[in-house]
Structures are given as C-alpha cells and as structure tokens.
Amino acid sequence: MTADKRQLVWDWPVRLVHWSMAILVLLLWWTAEEGIMDWHKRLGLTMLGLLVFRLVWGIAGSWTARFAPMIKGLAKLPAYFAALLKGGHKPSFGHNPMGVLSVFALLTLLGLQVGSGLFAVDVDGLESGPLSTFVSFGTGRDFADYHEFNFDILAVFIGLHILAILSYQFLIKDRLIGPMITGKRPAQDFGETPLPTMAVRPAALFAALLIAIGGVYLVANAG
Amino acid sequence: MKMRKIACLTPAVAGLMLLTACGQGGGDAGDEASGASGENATAALPNGMTVQEQIEARQKKLENIGGAFKTISDQLKSDSPDVAAIQTAAATVPAEATGMADWFPEGTGPDSGVETEALAIIWQEKEDFLSKISDMQNAAATLNTTAQGGDVAAIGEAFKATGGTCKACHDKFRLDD
C-alpha cells in the first residue's frame, strides 16, 4: 500500500445530501424570518425529499451511509470516549460513535421540523403547510408553535455538531471536513485492516430517488 | 486548498449565526414576560369591560377570523373546493370583524399587564390604524359577496385581497412573532 493512496469514506449521495441539507437549513431559516412563505414551503418539501432519500440510503446505501453498522458502533461509545480523553484517538472508517449520535439527533430533529411544518398554520390562517387541511386551525397553530420551538433545539444541535467537527479538526487533528467534501481520506489512516466495500448500487439509488420524489409528490398534493 | 478552507468555514459561520438568532428569540420572550404586572388587568374600561376581558374578547374574534380563513384556504387548495363551506366561512368574517375599531380602547396595549401582541404604535398612529381596519372590513364584505356568487377563481382573488389587508395592519401594529 503506497503512502498517498486514498480511501473512499463517504459516497457522493451522502455528501450531496449533507451539504444540500446544510444550505437548505440556512435558506429555510432565512425565508421564515423574511416571511417568504411560498419559497419556505418549496424548500421545506425539498428538505422532506432529502430526508426521505437519506432514510432509504441508510438502509440501501454504501456501508458508511447505513444505519445498522452505525447502531452497532454505538456499543463502542464508552471505550471510544475514554480513548479520546486519553489522547489515544484513532480515525474511524465512517461515523465514529460520537458522530452516530450526531446523525441520529440531527435526522430526528430535522424530521420533527419538517413534519411539524407540514401541518402548521400561521396566526392569520392565511399560510399553511400542505397537510394542514387535515387538522383544525387550533391544532395547526400548535404545530406552528412546535415548529418554532423545535427550530431552536435544531439550531443548538447544529451548533454542537459544528463545534464537534471543529474540535476534531483543530484539537484532535482528525480532519473530518475535507473528506465530507472529497469523500476520501488517506488509506493509511485505517492501517491494514480490510474495509467493507463502498459500492453505490444503481438500483438502490434509483429506488431511493423514486421513494423520495414519490413521497414529496404525495405530500404536496395531499390537500 | 484555500477554496476548501473557505468552504469548510461556511457551515461553521452559519451555525453560529443560527445560535445567535436563537438567543435573540429567547430575549424577546423574556421582555414580554417581564412586562406583565397584572395590576391593570381588572381595571374597568368606559365600555364596561375590564382590560383583560376586552383583550381576550378581541383575541377570540381574531382567532375566529383566522379559523374561517383556514377553512377558505383549505378549500381553495383542494382540486374540488367545497363552495358551500367557503360561503359559510366567508359570511362569518364580516360578522366577526364588526366593530373592530372599538376593540382597542386606550389602556389595552402592551402596558396593560395582560398578554397582548398589540403594539403601542396603535394609539400613536390611531388614524392609520383605523383606516387599515376599515380596509379589512371592506375587503371582508367583498369577499363575502364574491363567495356567495360561487366563482372559485374570483373567491381566490378576493381572499388574497382580504389577507393582504390583514397583513398590512399586522406588519405594523402587531408584535412580530
């Protein structure tokens, strides 16, 4: 194995979804602050599509995208954390156990955010999410209040995520940001251990896209 | 390499901005709570209601209008709108909005000690406030007559116009939520 050999750790759909979500959260926040609700709703539905895609990709994607190995990795959390404190950090292939917590927390909060937005009604009864026709004005208002509250929680967790990534980058010197852009990191980081293959299966990709787009279409036209 | 660094910083800055925004939201809520003293809530107004009764009564009326708007908005979103439901809801709007100019007597603003999103500027710019109320009442009357006519496209236009009059007033005279 040559020194400059690079190993794929994140497939391109994972990276594309990750950065699209980051940009969308910003745009959704901005459109909400400015009251540009037609775009807020369009972008919210786009976020729904990304979320659905990511959930399917967590089952059908390449190895590091999948939830099952992540959940297994959680068992190593105490040992991982102890090693981290002692300065004995070793790079993980895919999400490290702390990252797994981040993935599940952020996906859950994003899901709650988009989900509550679908049913939300504004205080004047003029603007409303595509599924709000199924709830009363009062219930829609409750969803809107939760939508607002949950965003603050989401923002805190995004802040924690960024803080953690920066700590890895500058304190622990495990550079995680570059690989989330290029998808690759030096193969020597993982020593000689054989790694799972990182294939993006076209059929799985097609299925995930179909479910995501179909889901968004159904929700958008449910009213 | 430089490009990559800039790309890396963007989400970080974004996250910090989000945190700041969140902090500001909390600050507003705190101010609102500290403004409530409860002392004036039971003071009697010239119309016989207490300050609290007046504020709660207008909130109820405005909520009813919001509910009627949602009914109309739901039907307008549908492929096959229920015109009868729109007509019933549209008829309640001018009825609920009757007398709105009298819902905001002096002493029922943010200093009243009762939780309200009515801003002090209502009493500073009373003339503009009253003209915006009458805009809304006129639009609501048109919405009702249009709704009874049953032309869904025309109802959509009248609904938009009415919503615009709500927003015009709320943007200036109501606490931003």
Mutate to test the interface with B, among A124, A157, A168, A221 (most CBs of B within 10 A): A124
- Chain A: closest CA distance from residue B12 (Å): 6
- pLDDT score recorded for residue B86: 97
Integer Cα distance of A66 and A63 in angstroms: 6
Per the CB < 8 Å rule, is A152 touching B22?
A: yes
Its ipTM equals 0.76
Would residue A8 count as lying in a domain? Answer: no
**Both tokens of residue B107?**
């002493």
What average pLDDT score do residues B20-32 get?
Answer: 42
Would residue A7 count as lying in a domain? Answer: no
B8 touches A at CB < 8 Å: yes
Q: Chain A residue with minimal CA distance to B74?
A: A133
- Chain B: closest CA distance from residue A203 (Å): 32
B11: left (phi over 0), alpha (psi -120 to 50) or beta: alpha
Per the CB < 8 Å rule, is A178 touching B4?
A: yes
* Number of A–B residue contacts, CB under 8 Å: 84
pLDDT band at B9 (very low <50, low <70, confident <90, very high): very low
pLDDT band at B2 (very low <50, low <70, confident <90, very high): very low
Per the CB < 8 Å rule, is B166 touching A124?
A: yes
The answer to whether residue B38 scores a pLDDT higher than 80 is no
- pLDDT score recorded for residue A223: 67
pLDDT band at B73 (very low <50, low <70, confident <90, very high): very high
CATH (domain of A80): 1.20.950
> Contact, B99 vs B133, CB < 8 A?
no
The widest CA-to-CA distance across chain B, in whole angstroms, is 73
More confident residue, B33 or A145: A145
Three-state DSSP state, B36: coil
Per the CB < 8 Å rule, is A152 touching B177?
A: no
Q: Of the candidates A90, A65, A93, A57, which has an alpha carbon nearest to the alpha carbon of residue A184?
A: A93
Choose among A33, A137, A165: nearest Cβ to B67.
A137
B68 touches A at CB < 8 Å: yes
Q: How far is CA A209 from the centre of its chain?
A: 16
B95-142 pLDDT per residue, tens: 999 999 999 999 999 999 899 999 999 999 999 999 999 999 999 999
Choose among A121, A128, A159: nearest Cβ to B15.
A159
Per the CB < 8 Å rule, is B21 touching A124?
A: no
The answer to whether residue B34 scores a pLDDT higher than 80 is no
B169 touches A at CB < 8 Å: no
Structural domain tally of chain A? 1
pLDDT band at B28 (very low <50, low <70, confident <90, very high): very low
Percent of chain B, pLDDT > 90? 68
Residues belonging to chain A with any Cβ–Cβ distance to chain B shorter than 8 Å: 22, 25-26, 29, 33, 121, 123-126, 128, 130, 132-133, 136-138, 140, 148, 151-152, 155-156, 158-159, 161-163, 165-166, 169, 177-178, 181, 223
Would residue A10 count as lying in a domain? Answer: no
- pLDDT score recorded for residue B114: 92
**Both tokens of residue B42?**
């039971």
Query: pLDDT tens digits, chain A, 223 residues: what are they?
Result: 445 788 999 999 999 999 999 999 999 999 999 999 999 999 999 999 999 999 999 999 999 999 999 999 999 999 998 988 888 788 889 999 999 999 999 999 999 999 999 999 999 899 999 999 999 999 999 999 999 999 999 999 999 999 999 999 998 888 899 999 999 998 888 887 788 888 899 999 999 999 999 999 999 998 6
Half-sphere exposure of B38 (CA within 13 A, CB side): 2
Measured CA distances, A2 to A46, A93, A192, A197 (Å) = 42, 19, 12, 19
**Both tokens of residue B76?**
């307008």
> Contact, B77 vs A133, CB < 8 A?
yes
Would residue A4 count as lying in a domain? Answer: no
- pLDDT score recorded for residue A19: 98
- pLDDT score recorded for residue B11: 47
Would residue A128 count as lying in a domain? Answer: yes
Output the pTM of the full model: 0.82
- Chain A: closest CA distance from residue B94 (Å): 15
Task: Residue A50: count other Cβ atoms within 10 Å of its Cβ.
Answer: 21
pLDDT band at B39 (very low <50, low <70, confident <90, very high): low
Per the CB < 8 Å rule, is A125 touching B73?
A: yes
- Expressed as residue numbers, the domain containing A206 is 15-220
Per the CB < 8 Å rule, is B15 touching A158?
A: yes
Q: Of the candidates B63, B136, B51, which has an alpha carbon nearest to the alpha carbon of residue B101?
A: B136
Would residue A6 count as lying in a domain? Answer: no
